[in-house]
Structure 1
Amino acid sequence: MSQIVYITLKRHVRLDERRISFFDVAEAEVDEDAKPILEKLIVKTAKPSSGNVVIVTILDVIKALKTVFPDAQTVITGETETIVSLQPVSVRAPLWKIAFVWIVLFTGAALTIMNFHEDVSMQKVHALLYEKITGIKNENPLILQIPYSIGLGLGMILFFNRLWQKRLNEEPGPLDLEMFKYEEDINAYLAANEKEKP
């Protein structure tokens, strides 16, 4: 009786070696006795001349599969190609780099907010609001400015749905969606570009 293998390819994987095995790029539903064989199966070996991005198609996977299970019937679901980024094992960035980037981003964000508030005359607006509500003229109404500043920070945390590395809820934030779209565009470009290479 021939083996039936259900295969779906992963969309994008990052590997630190040039020998790409079956389960690096594919998920498969097979008999338990076939899994150890597939774990050792090399689908493709990336040449150094191919650069850091390699496309593995479903045909590459089926061709490799037929070398160990010649009578296997394959059922393909989902993706038909995987983009493999060949990268060395990531090393954590030095603390000074993280601190430098954090300071630059924090300073830029702070200047942007301050310039916006200066453009719309936020201090005058707060002073006017305070005068309208209390009837007392005060150029620095801290009772309005402090809660406003705290609310601005909390609003940004809620909007981006992140507090450090943790999400506040399961819903993706706008930054997550933009990063997903960006990665999809990169993957589409890489796939199209790799196919055009001789």
Structure 2
Amino acid sequence: MSTTVYLRMKSKIQAKRNQTLYLSDVAYISGEEEWKEKLNEIELYRIKGTDRNIVILDVFRVIYMLHQLHKNLEIQALGPNQTIVTIPSNKKQPSLLLVCVIWLLLFVGAAMAIMNFHYDVSMEEVQQKLHFLLTGEQKEHPLWIQIPYSLGLGLGMILFFNHLFKKRINEEPSPLEVEMHKYQQDLDQYIVYHENHITKDSDYDDSSTN
């Protein structure tokens, strides 16, 4: 009599060099508690020194390996078909000079973008006309409008990006985070489709004999 176990692969995990990946690391398992304990400890793959920064574990290969170990086990796969295993490289401490140069470039670029936008829409003339409509006087620099406008512009950017330095204002994701999430999803799909280092059957055979 066969036993049914439900398997859902994790979309993405992170591993270290020479780390052994077990089924519990790459997938969620639902079924009888006895089988869950057995399957969770099955060794699927060992990260080798020759691996690049990304390894793809396919659900069909996982099912194939589980059937080799437990022939009477019926496995129902749900969710993603692959797990992306990222292997981070050793990161060096960033240079303070490089960080300052990048910060300066971003600051100058953002300032120029804002100034060019205001120049294109003639913001200074608009503020002068607004001052004339409200006071009846011509003034070249209506500071009582320009200063609150500048402060409000900075505050609006903080609210838009939903961050004040590293602190999040509320739990709602910012538009930038949403776009980064979409970009990461597209990147993961591209990696799954084009990654040429999909774990081979021999890798599973080697890991199963350890």
TM range (shorter): 0.7 to 0.9
Cα deviation 1:90-135 (Å, max 9, x = unaligned): 5664544443332221221011111222233322221221122101
Q: Alignment identity in percent?
A: 39
TM-score under structure 1 length normalisation: 0.82
**Closer, same or farther in 2 for the Cα pair 1:24/1:98, shift >3 Å?**
farther
Structure 2, gaps ≥5 residues long? 201-210
The structural deviation recorded for 1:32 is 4.7
Q: What residue in structure 2 maps to residue 174 of structure 1?
A: 175
Q: What residue in structure 1 maps to residue 16 of structure 2?
A: 16
**Closer, same or farther in 2 for the Cα pair 1:4/1:90, shift >3 Å?**
farther
Contact kept, 8 Å, 1:8 with 1:79, in 2: the verdict is yes
Cα deviation 1:132-179 (Å, max 9, x = unaligned): 210122111110001111111122222222223333333322111211
SS across alignment from 1:7: strand
Contact kept, 8 Å, 1:42 with 1:64, in 2: the verdict is no
**Closer, same or farther in 2 for the Cα pair 1:68/1:189, shift >3 Å?**
same
Structure 1, gaps ≥5 residues long? none
Higher relative CO (CA 8 A, sep ≥ 6), structure 1 or 2?
A: 2
State the number of aligned residues. Answer: 198
Contact kept, 8 Å, 2:17 with 2:49, in 1: the verdict is no
1:15-164, aligned counterparts within 5 Å?
15-18=15-18, 19-32=20-33, 37-66=38-67, 69-88=70-89, 93-164=94-165
Give the RMSD, CA atoms, in angstroms: 2.9
The structural deviation recorded for 1:2 is 5.6
